[in-house]
Structure 1
């Protein structure tokens, strides 16, 4: 049975969870994910934690078929236009266009939408494609301010060891709301539902974090 998010593991380096996907009777994909303050990866340590996780569940590892690692962005803000200009007046897509979900870091859905948009065009000149992808990326970035605000609350208002409480509450909400959240299509009602109820972080800290104070460093 797939395990989408096992957050019963030790909350090391921020919010941590393990994702497990059985690929066959004798093959398992195990992903150890961290919502960390830094992009650093200690491959040996992370590998040992995955081995430990498998051992706790009674899984015997005969062989490691493949490994990969990576870092995805979690955006709290930024200067969209400056980021876009940094590589010149050329068409962009995916991460380089700033087109990714601010909370999950996923960019594939946006890449597919970009490809569909381009395929429907008639003018494939460099400037025309730049202008088209820029307009799409700018509109997408503007629509996703809500998610960047939530990321700010997660990283600046919550202590690293307590971040799981924010996500713990979120995953008690309706599956449809969660699905729209992952798709970057949250409705106004969804947003209100996410923000109402007993907050997992103190309201005052959350407000100050949104206004720009990193409460964990005093900055």
Structure 2
């Protein structure tokens, strides 16, 4: 399980705590909020707002009030409720894509020692070239690799989501059904990452990286 635990210490300077820029911290928490909101809309439409189930309920409730509607009319009302939530899901998707673009651009403007790619390369180099702090470097490399996979999943989710959002305007996009399948599958992968990430942070907080959550709030100040 140690491979999923984030490390609070800098791999090149183990005596120092990692620093997180205000931009990265802002992106991290906004991203968490947007992904949570997006997943909640999917959960809502998959449970409480299922069109077929709600159509039956709507028709029954109206009938008890003396109003008669057809199955098609009841489905139309239920579908409208579901569509409103999917529209909210789309807005979350636009925001996620904007945050992803912000994160990619941020990589070019970050301080050199806080660039993600540099940290990944540094951990790999440390692991390959020196025995000193080898386990720490190996751990850091695999944690960063998992994060890199997460970024790829976000890119996939954003691209396929945008394709689905604009499929009515671009006939070619509507004809490619794989976008919906990839989008749904990637959602499950992101859910898996979230569970792994939370578990890793929880374990790290209980061991030798206490304060790792507060570091993502205050930037990594020495305690």
The TM-score range, normalised by the shorter chain, is under 0.3
Q: Which of the two has higher C-alpha Rg?
A: 2
Give the structure with the higher percent strand: 1
**Under a length normalisation based on structure 2, what TM-score does the superposition of the two structures give?**
0.24
Give the structure with the higher percent helix: 2
**Under a length normalisation based on structure 1, what TM-score does the superposition of the two structures give?**
0.24
